[in-house]
A and B are shown apart, each in its own frame.
Chain A
Amino acid sequence: MKELTFPEALNEAIREEMARDSTVFVQGEDVGPYGGGYYPALKGLWATFGGERVRDFPISETALVGTALGAAMTGMRPIVDIMFADFSFVCFDQIVNQIANMRYMSGGKAKVPIVVRGVIGGGQRLASQHSHSLEALFVQFPGLVVVTPSCPRTAKGLLKSAIRNDNPVIFLEHKMLYSAKGPVPEGRDFTLPLGKAQIGGEGTELTIVAHAYMTQVAMKAVDQLKHDGISAEVVDLLTLSPLDNETVLRSVRKTGRVLAVQEAPPMCGMAAEVVALIAEKLGMSLRAAPRRVTAKQSPIPFSPKLEDYVLPSVTDIVEAARGMVRGE
């Protein structure tokens, strides 16, 4: 094991996969000598691999993603850096109508090995257009794999798998994780499987389901709940689509309670999906009604006072959990 920051883990994953496979290349705005826009994860890649394989792109998101699709269908394996995931709205046609449907519409003939990396979420006072938690949107399109790492280890292991995978993968990195540091297994062979959730903090009374940065927030809540004598565990979804229903169900069968957490506003999000899953499969055997903790129903405001109010916190999770376990 070695200690890496989140961007270092991403950097290693890309570096190793580019060295392993000469068809892998990166393109995006400011990915060259600059090392990646506001969240630099690509430091040194341009110096190592050169401008042919680490391609600085003009501000043209439709072309950025669309050329990746064209290249992917003809033998290359592009990694697209879209900087803030919010910019994907500028090129949603290419991502959704084109990339997400291409394999299916071609009767399974097209192969679309693309990774689109984007930074999601709030917490850094960047206001509405740079703070969306838009992961559930992508989940609406069955032709996309959607991945949200939650720490340096999962960032590296999942990104490597995403690059090796022949499906289009939307890889969403929460901005609050960029300062995270953590252990990452040594070796170029370390990968983590796509489509598998993981469980953190072994608990018996409550399952908290979370993803991305909310996994870290939920783990803090689990610690606090321990002091209250409440035993909870966190299912970290990691891959949002296809969803690892089995791991979620296994945990909730054991605990009998589910609290689904997401940073996005309440409607039609991952938390709603998890609650629906549990209601359908385990509804009659639960010890408490399922609950959700989400952002409030508004865009993300700029002012810290306002943003902190809108986003879900450790306290929100702890209070909801107490309510469920103690009936408070």
Chain B
Amino acid sequence: MLRTRPLITEKDVLQAVHAGRDVLEVTGDPIVTPAAGASLREHGIRLAVRGDATLVEGESSSPSLGNFSSTLLLEMYSTMWRIRVFEEAVSVLFREGRIIGFAHVSIGQEAVATGACLALGPKDYSTASHRGPGPIAARGARLDLMMAELYGKATGYCRGKGGSVHLADFERGILGANGIVGAGIVIAAGAALSAKMRKSGEVALAFFGDGAVNQGAFHEGLNIAAVWKLPAIFVCENNQYAVSMAAEQATGGGSIVARAAAYGMPGVQVDGQDVLAVYAAVRAAAERARAGGDPTLIECRTYRFHGHWEGEATDLRRREEIAEWEARCPIIRLGTRLLEAKIARQEQLDALRQKALEEMAAAIRFAESSPEPAPQEALEGVLLPL
């Protein structure tokens, strides 16, 4: 299902050593064997992943539609619309002052959350970054309970105590979005540890941004997952900026995916605008994890069409750059492929979008008509009785 990825073995490393090179160049998404990882370290050889090779548009860089059932393809399509219409509503409601506090949306990044979450099973675990609504909705969380939480209502997922940045749905294994950059990475590693100890066959997936890879928690989480072979999947939503900081200015060594090699775990870079590529990569990682293999780092190259947060006064990104990426809308891209391959007709696609719109409208009605929490509820849920 996955297009062939270059495998880096110890032999490749030794060849580079003999040739007197200190950089090993790879094009595509390399899988680095643990022995090769150790050898890279030992000989001080850097793995240079020619990242953009995977960003080439078109059939050649994307898994073939034939590998997916039409049910799954349509589910991907409608999940992306669910996220898009929900977050567009959030954006408008924020501007109208009906939603307050933080609101970080991932419009433009829907393929990452969707591809990754649909590749998980219902009992698996996930954590999300502060940019939570997309990755949480993608696991099938209820939009009405999410919206009610953003409104601070008693009926919300967290009873109005968490808001956008702390959305969680424990029944679905969603262990929460997070206000602290990088924190969810180690929490997911912990859920993977638990799955391993309980021999449950579950895996845990962490979503995090490009900004999080320079946090101590990233190093510590990937390291422990590697040495303990935890069933963990680390999905970097590389939208290329952390607020105003360009990833390339912040990331030592220049490549996020290349860091996997240092931990001796497979590293995969995918086009994050291609939901099929994300799905395939996460699916392969989940299978490996369930089989007792290594954890995986997956870097998804993507872009947020909106500013860092909905109240942002300054967006320093170039207009042309934003426009360039808006042209790579993951939803339109999948829709076009489905039409071209005659897997769906336009009316079908329209109906899926319509359904998402209706769900979102109902979510807003639910949120608006829900009661405020009673003030004293603020003191509940702090500690269990001793």
Contacts and interface: CB of A to CB of B under 8 A. Distances in A.
Contact of B180 (A58, A62, A87, A306): A87
Contact of A298 (B215, B250, B378): B378
Given A125-B100, A301-B161, A60 B215 contact: yes
A90 B211 contact: no
A58 B160 contact: no
Given A58-B250, A127-B166, A37 B243 contact: yes
Nearest to A307: B378
Contacts of B215: 59-61, 90
Interface stretch (B55-63, B138-146, B194-202, B368-376): B368-376
Interface string B358-386: 00000000000000111111110010000
Contact of A125 (B101, B158, B214, B244): B101
Interface string A284-328: 000000000000111101111111111000000000000000000
B216 interface: yes
Interface of A (DSSP majority class): loop
A232 to B, nearest CB: 27
B375 A125 contact: no
B242 interface: yes
A93 to B, nearest CB: 10
Interface stretch (A26-34, A214-222, A267-275): A26-34
A34 B373 CA distance: 37
Interface in B144-161: 149, 152-153, 158, 160-161
B212 A59 contact: yes
B372 A56 contact: no
Contacts of B149: 302
B316 interface: yes
Given A56-B249, A129-B179, A302-B162, A34 B378 contact: no
A127 B379 contact: no
A298 B309 CA distance: 27
Given A37-B243, A59-B242, A297-B382, A306 B166 contact: no
A272 to B, nearest CB: 19
B245 A30 contact: yes
A126 interface: yes
A35 interface: yes
A111 interface: no
Interface of B: 100-102, 149, 152-153, 158, 160-163, 165-166, 178-182, 211-212, 214-217, 242-245, 249-251, 309, 313-314, 316, 372-379, 382
Given A30-B244, A128-B179, A301-B161, 6 more contacts: A38-B309, A58-B245, A58-B250, A60-B214, A127-B179, A130-B165
